[in-house]
């Protein structure tokens, strides 16, 4: 279960009475009695994980309150470097990345905090939470090399001083800080890297705070660091005794902690929807909590939320891109509503810790439509916009060298020789999916996920070759994290390498709709599209008014589309891909909608050829009052 990370911290009733703003607070490990001590008293945690970057900030307190109500006493949370430093030296700590506000809200909700500062976090995020721009230096990540460590030091010198006032001994809720994540899995096994991280974090946060690591118990050899407390992670259907015995072989004493008790499951685009049964979760939670009364755990995930925009990454083992949803069959669903699993888990926790008597109701949901989304720009119109940056070079360049974070790049060249017809077009080191056009006529798709990297094409001398390459999310696990996106090898036609490329790109597709200018005078290509020229990638636009003067959460349903990116009022809801599944609907927070009578704007970047686009350029779409995450997926996956 390398793809999960959870912490479950629970404390007994006693801890609820402690004033966490008292300056004489202490949180320590009693190695003689294998337990934590908070202000000198035994402490255990039943924790849960939520990531601030996956929940709209307006809903933070709501989710934390529901966590506390279930009897959970500790929030475990990752810090995502890539979101806080989206470009080298440019920092973001406002809005959804206001991490100190997140910590304050947790404290307000009565939760202690376990902070997993990385720098690598995994978490099914793009590049495991490491910034994409590091790859312009062709680094080996997560190793003690000078360039990587220079950037880690810089980042920690920005982050950690902000965190310090929130440590428990300083009156805040943070009781422990995690280094890296599941480093034991990583082939580098660079112990000097982990001990350097320890020293850097200590130099900022002091000697008092407990630092910890989290690893698969079978892989502790490369995960452990001297003077850093070791925890392990494991899910259901596994005896705690077996797991903790392995830990004890390495660390003779100290409290037992399962930092990620996996209570859900994670989907992949194109693979059947996965869940984890409620009774399996409650059975093994009870086994764990009764195993040792001083043992602590954190559930992964208490509430998964959504990887909005381009935040979602891909697993290794082939190339397995994760969907936009991070519902992951957690205790709260994607919209923050309690599930049957929430109530069942709360029931188990009530045997060990105080829980709230109150029941929590689901929030109201909107249903809107159908609404018409109309073709605004086809391929040609889109790429004749003024905002594209253009770079020419002999060989194709990856996203990172061009300074482009995510989304699409158009690679374009002219075939200046006579080739056989058809001739095999091969893209070496394609990351991740390319739409191939000859003289603007669509030829087909080559795809890393589907392991098809070549396509036969018929081109004349002088034909223009266009490749729209989609970055489907950077790999977050294994050696492939140190990879470039786009085309990182040669492109050949027959035996000949193609040269003289032009690249058309933008800095960041999160901001795409702010660049768009619609010109009412430009004729639309739709009705009875009979030219052979490609429509896609196409921009569709819909404007609509919600039925109320208040807004509520809803779920965008792109069933009539194929694959692309959806933007609502300038915010990227994420990638949609209903033709592949299993995720169909995109969670749409009510706080991102405008109430009646204001007009909402939905913009779609459609990469393929849904029938509605071809027939008349108008696609009917809805917003539903319920999610659909278990759509049909292709066979043979």
Examine residue 422 and say whether the peptide bond preceding it is cis (omega within 30 degrees of 0): yes
> Considering the rule CB under 6 A, would residue 601 count as an interface residue with ligand NAG?
no
Q: Pick the catalytic residue: 260, 400, 510, 608?
A: 260
**Comparison of 167 and 289: residue with beta carbon closer to ligand NAG:** 289
Among 106, 431, 622, 623, binds ligand NAG (CB under 6 A): 622
Examine residue 301 and say whether the peptide bond preceding it is cis (omega within 30 degrees of 0): yes
> Considering the rule CB under 6 A, would residue 616 count as an interface residue with ligand NAG?
yes
Contacts of residue 273, Cβ cutoff 8 Å, sequence gap at least 6: 267, 581, 582, 629, 630, 631, 633
Question: Look-up: residue for tokens 């900022």?
Answer: 204
Which residues inside 474-503 make contact with ligand NAG, applying CB under 6 A? none
Question: Look-up: residue for tokens 């580098």?
Answer: 188
Inter-CA distances, 171 with 72, 107, 112, 223, 394, Å = 20, 10, 11, 31, 58
Site string for ligand NAG, 35-74 (x = CB under 6 A): x------x--------------------------------
Query: Does the annotation count 460 as an active-site position?
Result: no
Closest CA to 16 of 48, 44, 35, 49: 44
Kindly indicate which of the ranges 61-69, 78-86, 219-227, 555-563 contains the residues binding ligand NAG, using the contact rule CB under 6 A: 555-563
**Comparison of 262 and 565: residue with beta carbon closer to ligand NAG:** 565
Site string for ligand NAG, 358-387 (x = CB under 6 A): ------------x-----------------
> Considering the rule CB under 6 A, would residue 98 count as an interface residue with ligand NAG?
yes
Joined tokens for residue 185: 């899995």
Which residues inside 251-310 make contact with ligand NAG, applying CB under 6 A? 292-294
Please report how the helices 99-108 and 60-69 are oriented relative to each other, as an axis angle in degrees rounded to 10.
40
Examine residue 435 and say whether the peptide bond preceding it is cis (omega within 30 degrees of 0): no
Nearest distance from C-beta of residue 99 to ligand NAG, angstroms: 9
CA-derived radius of gyration, the chain:
25
Which residues inside 311-340 make contact with ligand NAG, applying CB under 6 A? none
Which residues inside 9-38 make contact with ligand NAG, applying CB under 6 A? 35
Element (H, E) at 246: helix 240-250
**Comparison of 238 and 616: residue with beta carbon closer to ligand NAG:** 616
Query: Taken in order 589, 591, 596, 600, is the CA torsion positive or negative?
Result: negative
> Considering the rule CB under 6 A, would residue 93 count as an interface residue with ligand NAG?
yes
**Comparison of 408 and 603: residue with beta carbon closer to ligand NAG:** 603
Contacts of residue 616, Cβ cutoff 8 Å, sequence gap at least 6: 526, 527, 528
Separation of CA 263 from chain center? 18
Q: 270 near 472, Cβ under 8 Å? A: no
Query: Does the annotation count 182 as an active-site position?
Result: yes
Nearest distance from C-beta of residue 558 to ligand NAG, angstroms: 8
> Considering the rule CB under 6 A, would residue 620 count as an interface residue with ligand NAG?
yes
Helix (H, G, I), strand (E, B), or coil: what is residue 366? coil
Q: Pick the catalytic residue: 182, 376, 470, 608?
A: 182
Total residues in contact with ligand NAG, by rule CB under 6 A? 19
Contacts of residue 375, Cβ cutoff 8 Å, sequence gap at least 6: 524, 525, 526, 535, 538, 539, 540, 613, 617, 618
Joined tokens for residue 107: 């404290």
> Considering the rule CB under 6 A, would residue 628 count as an interface residue with ligand NAG?
no
> Considering the rule CB under 6 A, would residue 557 count as an interface residue with ligand NAG?
yes
Closest CA to 257 of 291, 308, 282, 281: 291
> Considering the rule CB under 6 A, would residue 116 count as an interface residue with ligand NAG?
no
Kindly indicate which of the ranges 190-198, 454-462, 541-549, 617-625 contains the residues binding ligand NAG, using the contact rule CB under 6 A: 617-625
Kindly indicate which of the ranges 65-73, 90-98, 329-337, 383-391 contains the residues binding ligand NAG, using the contact rule CB under 6 A: 90-98
**Comparison of 324 and 472: residue with beta carbon closer to ligand NAG:** 324
Element (H, E) at 390: strand 389-393
Active site members: 182, 260
Binding site for ligand NAG (CB under 6 A): 35, 42, 93-94, 98, 101, 292-294, 370, 557, 559-560, 615-616, 618, 620-622
């Amino acid at each position: 279960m390398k793809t999960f990370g959870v912490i479950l911290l629970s404390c007994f009733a006693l801890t609820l009475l402690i004033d966490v703003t008292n300056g004489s607070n202490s949180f320590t490990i009693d190695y003689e009695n294998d337990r934590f001590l908070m202000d000198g008293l035994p402490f255990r945690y039943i924790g849960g994980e939520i990531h601030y970057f996956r929940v709209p900030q307006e809903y933070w307190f709501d989710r934390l309150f529901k966590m506390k109500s279930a009897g959970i006493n500790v929030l475990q949370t990752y810090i995502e470097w890539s979101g806080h430093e989206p470009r080298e030296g440019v920092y973001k700590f406002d809005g959804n990345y206001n991490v100190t506000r997140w910590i304050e809200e947790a404290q307000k909700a009565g939760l202690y905090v376990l902070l997993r500062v990385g720098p690598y976090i995994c978490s099914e995020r793009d590049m495991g939470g490491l910034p994409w721009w590091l790859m312009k230096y062709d680094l080996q990540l997560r190793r003690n090399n000078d360039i990587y460590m220079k950037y880690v030091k810089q980042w920690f010198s920005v982050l950690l001083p902000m965190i310090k006032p929130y440590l428990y001994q300083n009156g805040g809720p943070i009781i422990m800080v995690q280094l890296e994540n599941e480093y034991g899995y990583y082939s580098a096994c660079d112990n000097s890297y982990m001990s350097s991280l320890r020293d850097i974090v200590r130099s900022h946060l002091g000697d008092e705070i407990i630092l910890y690591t989290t690893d698969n118990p079978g892989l502790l050899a490369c995960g452990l660091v001297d003077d850093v407390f070791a925890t392990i992670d494991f899910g259901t259907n596994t005896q705690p005794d077996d797991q903790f015995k392995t830990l004890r072989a390495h660390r003779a004493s100290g409290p037992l902690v399962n930092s990620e008790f996996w209570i859900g499951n994670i989907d992949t685009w194109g693979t059947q929807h996965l869940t984890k049964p409620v009774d399996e979760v409650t059975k093994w939670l009870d086994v764990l909590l009764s195993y040792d009364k001083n043992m602590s755990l954190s559930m992964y995930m208490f509430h998964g939320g959504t990887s909005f925009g381009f935040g979602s990454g891909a697993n290794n083992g082939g190339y397995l891109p994760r969907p936009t949803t991070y519902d992951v069959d957690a205790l709260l669903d994607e919209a923050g509503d309690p599930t049957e699993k929430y109530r069942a888990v709360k029931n188990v926790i009530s045997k060990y810790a105080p829980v709230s008597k109150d029941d929590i109701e689901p929030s109201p949901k909107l249903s809107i439509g159908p609404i018409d989304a109309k073709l605004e720009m086809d391929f040609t119109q889109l790429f004749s916009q003024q905002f594209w940056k253009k770079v020419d070079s002999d060989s194709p360049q990856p996203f990172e060298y061009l300074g482009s974070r995510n989304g699409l790049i158009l690679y374009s060249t002219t075939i200046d020789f006579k080739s056989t017809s058809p001739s095999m077009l091969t893209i070496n080191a394609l990351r991740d999916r390319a739409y191939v056009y000859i003289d603007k006529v669509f030829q087909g798709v080559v795809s890393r996920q589907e392991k098809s990297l070549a396509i036969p094409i018929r081109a004349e001398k002088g034909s223009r070759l266009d490749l729209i390459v989609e970055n489907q999310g950077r790999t977050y696990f294994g050696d492939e994290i140190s990879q470039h996106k786009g085309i990182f090898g040669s492109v050949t036609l027959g035996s000949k390498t193609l040269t003289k490329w032009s690249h058309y790109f933008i800095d960041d597709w999160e901001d795409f709709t702010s660049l768009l200018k619609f010109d009412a005078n430009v004729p639309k290509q739709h009705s009875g599209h009979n030219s052979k020229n490609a429509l896609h990638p196409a921009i569709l636009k819909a404007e609509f008014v919600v039925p109320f003067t208040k807004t509520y959460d809803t779920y965008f349903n792109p069933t009539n589309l194929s694959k692309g990116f959806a933007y609502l009022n300038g915010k990227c809801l994420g990638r949609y891909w209903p033709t592949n599944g299993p995720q169909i609907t995109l969670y749409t927070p009510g706080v991102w909608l405008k109430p009646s009578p204001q007009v909402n704007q939905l913009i779609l970047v459609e990469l393929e050829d849904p029938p509605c686009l071809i027939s008349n350029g108008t696609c009917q779409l809805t917003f539903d009052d319920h999610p659909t995450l278990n759509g049909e997926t292709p066979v043979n996956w």
